[in-house]
Amino acid sequence: MSVNKVILVGNVGIDPEVRYLEGGTAVATVRLATSETYKNKNGERITQTEWHNIVLWRGLAEITEKYVKKGMQLYIEGRLRTRSWDDKEGNKRYTTEIVADSMKMLSRKDDNSSQQEEKKQQDIAPELDDADDLPF
Amino acid sequence: MSVNKVILVGNVGIDPEVRYLEGGTAVATVRLATSETYKNKNGERITQTEWHNIVLWRGLAEITEKYVKKGMQLYIEGRLRTRSWDDKEGNKRYTTEIVADSMKMLSRKDDNSSQQEEKKQQDIAPELDDADDLPF
Amino acid sequence: MSVNKVILVGNVGIDPEVRYLEGGTAVATVRLATSETYKNKNGERITQTEWHNIVLWRGLAEITEKYVKKGMQLYIEGRLRTRSWDDKEGNKRYTTEIVADSMKMLSRKDDNSSQQEEKKQQDIAPELDDADDLPF
Amino acid sequence: MSVNKVILVGNVGIDPEVRYLEGGTAVATVRLATSETYKNKNGERITQTEWHNIVLWRGLAEITEKYVKKGMQLYIEGRLRTRSWDDKEGNKRYTTEIVADSMKMLSRKDDNSSQQEEKKQQDIAPELDDADDLPF
DNA sequence: TTTT
DNA sequence: TTTT
């Protein structure tokens, strides 16, 4: 038995990237910042920002494509996954990502169509879970 | 405002490494496995194991040094932190770790001194939180 | 947007109760204890136990009926729900429960058939989520 | 070993109540709403609101007294506690509350002094944890 | 009513 | 490199 759970509330750093696999499956990646403020030994206020790579599949990716923009505040629930790849020198490299199981928009960047999109967002809210049975 | 929270329950892969910084601060690293089982399209049961790098500071590191062993089941609560370093070819590399804020032992590998250590573990249980104010 | 999430690891106080609604839907209730130990001002070790009412629906209820026993350690992920009812004097009363979305068995009470049940438990493990779309 | 953790993001229903115990310890109570939307069998969109009783001690209570207002969105991390009391008919009653370990303000109700208070809030942000060692 |  |  094990538990692998991540809960994040943070802000989107750049507009998400969304691509579609051969079979039509959507995959989105989101850069999400969380920051933490503390005082160091000299009493100075230090803000430390952490950047997270979020991966969203299928329905969550499609929602992301339509509604998630740079600057928005998101709630993400997911799990850690480290995958390996080979760089150009042939070295094994590792990247740790958060695979989202649930995503909620806490704010929206207002744009021209905001009133209308607000409604859309509410319409789709109940579908914001990744209930597919594939584990990635 | 942001939230950066990780909750893990998993098994320790190898005995932890603990070192002491110049000032005497203890730092422990633990390799923790979580695994997830699912059926693929052919109905075969697939187990996918995820390895996490846990970093524990100060009191948590000292507890780790004394009691955490390969094979034990741990509950970890912490936060994600990605740090960068330069490899031998001078390339920037990134490693994502979970900095523990709380650690609980869900099982112990039984050894000769188990009865005695059981008691020790209980004695220290209330101190198993990293309440220091440094954010790393 | 809101989040209502509970994460518990605790021990089952009595064998669960399971009943079936008219339509055949299974509902299980589990009493789960969590305890917390601290030192009071006199340095005495105090253990405080908290009892939680867990409600599990459908597949989770059926798993509970088959495998969950008094004394077992469970991981529960769910959400808070307070429901009201009228007592015999006609006063409104409130009961707060945790509606489970996920349940994992961290230990089993060993019994005669343990080897065999062990296997069963593994067979059903992947189905331990409440993926139905009803919100209760 | 056990875990008793609650994570909430919701809105404050009425201005918090804050009182001071004989020894000067501050205690605040906050009514927090979370809501969940789903479609019933007829395809109608149903919103179900859940009200939570949050209890905050010491520093968190003082922050609450100064800054938390009706309508604000809060992030609360805490633990469940059910306490019993006797009603006027002498019956034992139970109330389940969430004792906060951490509180973060996700929004503020704008008032006249908002600019100035914004700064205050940031100044106190690092102290928003209940690090005292009393377990309630 | 559980467990360590 | 762990565990079930």
Both tokens of residue D126?
């690092």
Please state the three-class secondary structure of chain C as a single string: CCEEEEEEEEEECCCCEEEECCCCCEEEEEEEEEEEEEECCCCCEEEEEEEEEEEEEHHHHHHHHHHCCCCCEEEEEEEEEEEEEECCCCCEEEEEEEEEEEEEECCCCCCCCHHHHHHHHHHHHHHCECCCCCCC
Tell me the CA–C1' distance in angstroms for C16 and E2: 12
For each of the domains in chain D, give its residue range(s) and CATH number, in order of start: 6-106 (2.40.50.140)
Q: Name the pLDDT band for A127 (thresholds 50, 70, 90).
A: very low
User: Is pLDDT at C129 greater than 70 in this prediction?
Assistant: no
Written as six digits, the tokens of B17 are 């490494």
**Chain B with chain C: Cβ pairs closer than 8 A:** 21
CA D69 – CA D11 distance, rounded (Å):
10
Distance from C38 to chain B by nearest Cα, in Å? 6
- Asked if C79 and C5 touch (Cβ cutoff 8 Å), the reply is yes
Whether CB of C29 is under 7 Å from strand E: the answer is: no
* Contact: A96, B89; criterion CB under 8 Å: no
Element holding A20 (H helix, E strand): strand A17-20
Interval C12-21: pLDDT, tens? 999 999 999 9
D3 touches strand E (CB under 7 A): no
Asked if A7 and B10 come within 8 Å (Cβ–Cβ), the reply is no
- DSSP letters, B11-42, are EE-SPPEEEE-TTS-EEEEEEEEEEEEEE-TT
Q: What is the pLDDT of residue C62?
A: 96
Give the pLDDT confidence score for residue C131 in this predicted structure: 58
Q: Which member of D5, D7, D75 has the closest CB to residue B1?
A: D75
Q: Is the CB of C71 under 7 A from strand E?
A: yes
Identity at A76, one-letter amino acid code: I
pLDDT, one tens digit for every residue, chain B (136 residues)? 899 999 999 999 999 999 999 999 999 999 999 999 888 888 899 999 999 999 999 999 999 999 999 999 999 999 999 999 998 888 899 999 999 999 999 875 554 344 344 434 443 433 356 754 443 4
Reduce the DSSP state of residue B102 to 3 states and report it: strand
Phi, psi (rounded to 5 degrees) for B18: -130, 135
Q: Show the tokens assigned to C129.
A: 């989520």
Q: How do residues C52-67 score in pLDDT, each as one tens digit?
A: 999 999 999 999 999 9
* Nearby residues of A110 by Cβ (< 8 Å), 6 or more positions away: none
Q: What is the pLDDT of residues B9-27, one digit of tens each?
A: 999 999 999 999 999 999 9
Residue C40 has pLDDT above 70, yes or no: yes
Q: What is the mean pLDDT of residues D88-113?
A: 82
pLDDT, tens digit, 9 for 90 and up, residues D36-67: 998 999 999 999 999 999 999 999 999 999 99
C8: pLDDT strictly greater than 90:
yes
Q: Which residues in chain C, range 111-130, keep a C-beta under 7 Å from any nucleic strand E atom?
A: none
Residue A16 has pLDDT above 90, yes or no: yes
C53 touches strand E (CB under 7 A): no
Buried-state track D88-119, b at ≥16 Cβ within 10 A, e below 16: eeeeeeeebbbbbbbbbbbebeeeeeeeeeee
Residue A1 pLDDT > 60: yes
Protein residues in reach of strand F (CB < 7 A): A 1-2; B 10-14, 31, 33, 35, 37, 47, 49, 51, 70-71, 73; C 118, 121-122
Q: Is the pLDDT of residue A125 over 80?
A: no
